[in-house]
Amino acid sequence: MAVGNLELISKTSFSNITSGDVDNIFSDTYDVYFWTANGNSTLSTNLTGVDLRLLDSSGTVISATEYDYAYLQLNTASAFVEARNTSQNKLLNYIGTADIEPEGNNSSGYIFNPYNSSSYTFFTAQNSNSFNTATRGFKYIGVHKSAETCRGVNIFSPTTENFNIDFSVYGVK
């Protein structure tokens, strides 16, 4: 279903997971993908980041140290925080951080060239969340530094904290 320049590819609701794959979403039809993550919340009072890895052309999680990222955490109750890392095995907090409802997280972002075997895959994102009644936003950039065909994503909690999330992916025309 097309909405403006976006065509819905996948809408997946995960409940009570520590890790979930959204597979077979990338193809040669699009170069750019837009995603949204809504209702991202934990099932306990423990805060957790929600990280992302790509799935290669066979559906295997890419966990090699091929990811670089940087983000700016815009806190309302304290100083802003910058973070950046190279040669990582994931995109740390790419989907944001989650806390128990009603303090959750809503995120969106773009993934560029994941299916193009001649290009690195690039990422941008932004999200907002609340923790201990303080709100904060994130601005995020990242890259997967291996030119290979990727067909999906793995979203997971590095602390193995269970979480809920509604994850939608759109092709950008």
| Residue 83 CB partners (closer than 8 Å, separation 6+) | 69, 70, 71, 73, 92
Domain locations along the chain: 2-172
- Residue-wise pLDDT for 59-110, tens only, equals 999 999 999 999 998 888 888 989 999 999 999 988 877 665 556 678 999 9
Task: For domain 2-172, give the CATH number.
Answer: 2.60.120
* Model pTM score: 0.90
Cα(76)–Cα(74) distance, rounded to whole angstroms? 7
Instruction: Provide the 3-class DSSP secondary structure of residue 42.
Output: strand
Which range has highest mean pLDDT (42-56, 108-122, 131-145)?
108-122
